[in-house]
A and B are shown apart, each in its own frame.
Chain A
Amino acid sequence: MVTGVHVLRATQRAGRAYQAVKCLTNNSTRLNTRDWDLCHRRLFSSSEILYGRKYTDKHEWVQMEGKIGTVGISHYAQDALGDVVYAQLPDVGQDVAQKEECGALESVKAASELYSPVSGKVVEKNAAVEEKPGLINMSCYEKGWLFKVELSKPEEVENLMDEDQYQQFLKTNDQ
């Protein structure tokens, strides 16, 4: 039973990696936005296997490197928001708590609260995103990261969703 699940996951991953490669190699013509999005998603899905990105049910992600977690929002979230025109990020030195408001992203006249996926102290914020909030739409997993936290409760990460769980969560949420 358990083995079965593992096998399935492995196949899914392999499938994604394959799709990503196909996406990159097969498109000699210009990719339309949708293809590009899909391509991105798949590419980053496979990178998650390498880096262990974890997700919340509010669509934030955190990626750990030692004690420092880098926080951003998921592709799904940036797509739902539309063009982000202003990013209000927590200040360096500020304490944030898991599931608590710590900033806001503004898009098409809506201010969406930003919830921290983990607790700790903010050690860096992405000045490039403050200057150019569109980075969140263009590159939500790389250039569009939001802030870095030195975790006070590293165990919190354990309870977040991994890539597969998050994709499953998105599917059930859509229905």
Chain B
Amino acid sequence: MALVMKSVLASRFCASFRTAVLIKHSSSAKFSIAAAGKKGSHSAPEEDIKKSVFISQSKDVFSNLALEDWMYRNMDFSKHHILMLWQNSPTVVIGRHQNPWLEANPQVLSENGVEVARRNSGGGTVYHDNGNLNLTFFTARDVYNRRRNLDLVTRALFREFNLYSQVNSREDIVINGNKISGTASKLGNPNAYHHCTILVNVDKTVLHDALCKHDKGITTTATASVPSPTVNLQEVNPNVSVEKLLSALGWEFLRSSPLSLKDGGLDYASAQGGFQLVNPTEDWFPGLDKIREEFVSWAWRYGRTPEFTVSRSFPVPHLIARESGMPLKDVKEELAISLKVVKGVIEDVTLKIPPSMMSARGFTGDAEVLTSLRGKRFCESAMEILGESLGQSESQTLSPEQFGTSSETEGERFVADCMRQTMMAV
């Protein structure tokens, strides 16, 4: 990306843009924590605020999220507004208070090598790949204004590509009612940021499959995503590419005044901090590795999931019910399973066993597998436990000494299998 940017800049602005383009490549620490803003500081008057564009040289979602967080925590934005432009390899990014099992389809993700990441801002789930560009607008909290940033984006789209886009009531950017950009933000003190995605030529098949919702039987208070029809900018104007968009947005940011968005043209832009290529590494940003580790951790990605319950019901097969001695036509009963998951760990398993199963010869109703699930991470570790127990009961079925209690084995196998299906569906 570095080379592309250089050539874009060189060809378009070489003459008029004299000294402002700062492209830094050295690997020594560029940004020290000592530069952090004083807590509670207020934004400077508009004319004293400088603007810079940072372009991340990494496509690793965890490094980019860590960079975003590092800047939010450590930099002083009272006199300096920064637009960070970044891209990720294929990733599903969920909102801070969302449930990854509810929002994404793990099977589709693993088949396509798509990562799951949890960000620090609110809002719903988005899909990123190389056809998507991410923007983060950093300001002091007291001048944070999402609408202003979005207006800047629509202005850039019009100036550069003649595209008409609108900001809707959910603060998404739409073209003819189809979403091209999703927005979320994080507000703290003294800093805040607003970030958004822009779809240029994202693989919509993967996007759809990765985020496609089906009934998983999950009940939760977690933030819900609001699915919307999307469109790639390239479908509207084939002339748009990620590189051109990146340049257009960067220039629009630099030429617009920070608070009132007054267009200062190239003279104004050239007095700003220009474009800086940044590497989200420990060398450049001391302390970044630790933040990245946190973003990668199971505890953050899955463990931070708001409490939820998965509930499913399964009709009891005749083979088991027959043992109960009840007439078959009356057997329309279901086994109901409910798993309570707190901080990503199974806290409670509830089984509602119908009478036909309870009275089945030998079935005691307390499948051991249930106890072993408690305290296990949802759902990989739990699946392993189930796999083991299913294997055991299979061998039991085959052994002659267990033959007499086949219904007990069948019953427990049925319960374990239902449990497995409950988790598989999620």
Contacts and interface: CB of A to CB of B under 8 A. Distances in A.
Contact of A115 (B122, B171, B189, B306): B189
B309 interface: no
Q: Which secondary structure characterizes the binding site on chain A?
A: strand
Contacts of B39: 99
Contacts of A133: 221
Contact of A108 (B171, B188, B222): B171
Contact of B223 (A85, A101, A115): A85
A106 B171 CA distance: 15
Contacts of A101: 188
Nearest to A104: B96
A112 B194 CA distance: 12
Contacts of B184: 109-111
B186 interface: yes
Contacts of B185: 109-111
Given A99-B39, A104-B96, A106-B96, A113 B221 contact: no
Interface residues of B, number: 24
A110 B221 contact: no
A86 interface: yes
Contact of A109 (B123, B189, B221): B123
Q: Which of A106, A111, A113, A131 has the most CB of B within 10 A?
A: A111
Interface in A45-91: 57-58, 85-86, 88
Contact of B186 (A58, A85, A110): A110
A112 B96 CA distance: 11
B221 A106 contact: no
Given A85-B223, A86-B97, A86-B222, A110 B121 contact: yes
Contacts of A108: 122, 170-171
A88 B120 CA distance: 12
B253 to A, nearest CB: 21
A111 B122 contact: yes
Q: Which of A57, A86, A101 has the most CB of B within 10 A?
A: A86
Contact of A106 (B122, B146, B183, B189): B122
A126 interface: no
B40 A110 contact: no
A109 B183 contact: yes
A19 interface: no
Given A57-B40, A85-B223, A109 B171 contact: yes
B370 interface: no
Contacts of A131: 221
B351 interface: no
Nearest to B124: A109
B125 to A, nearest CB: 12
Size category, A interface: 20 to 34
Contact of A110 (B124, B187, B306): B187
B278 to A, nearest CB: 24
Contact of A107 (B95, B122, B221): B122
A111 B97 CA distance: 9
Q: Which of A88, A99, A106, A115 has the most CB of B within 10 A?
A: A106
Interface in B163-210: 170-171, 183-189
Nearest to A113: B188
Interface string A106-124: 1111111101000000000
A95 interface: no
Contacts of A162: none
Contacts of A115: 189
A164 interface: no
Contacts of A109: 95, 121-124, 170-171, 183-185
A113 B187 CA distance: 6
A131 B220 CA distance: 9
Nearest to B304: A88
Interface string B291-306: 0000000000000001
Give the 7 A-B residue pairs with the shortest CB-CB distance, closest first: A109-B123, A106-B122, A111-B122, A113-B188, A86-B97, A112-B187, A110-B185
Interface of B: 39-40, 95-97, 120-124, 146, 170-171, 183-189, 221-223, 306
Given A104-B97, A110-B122, A112-B187, 12 more contacts: A86-B97, A86-B223, A106-B223, A108-B171, A109-B185, A110-B121, A110-B185, A111-B185, A111-B187, A112-B188, A113-B188, A113-B189
25 contacts: A86-B97, A86-B122, A86-B306, A101-B188, A104-B96, A106-B95, A106-B97, A106-B122, A108-B122, A108-B170, A109-B185, A110-B122, A110-B123, A110-B146, A110-B187, A111-B95, A111-B96, A111-B120, A111-B122, A111-B187, A112-B188, A113-B186, A113-B189, A130-B221, A131-B221
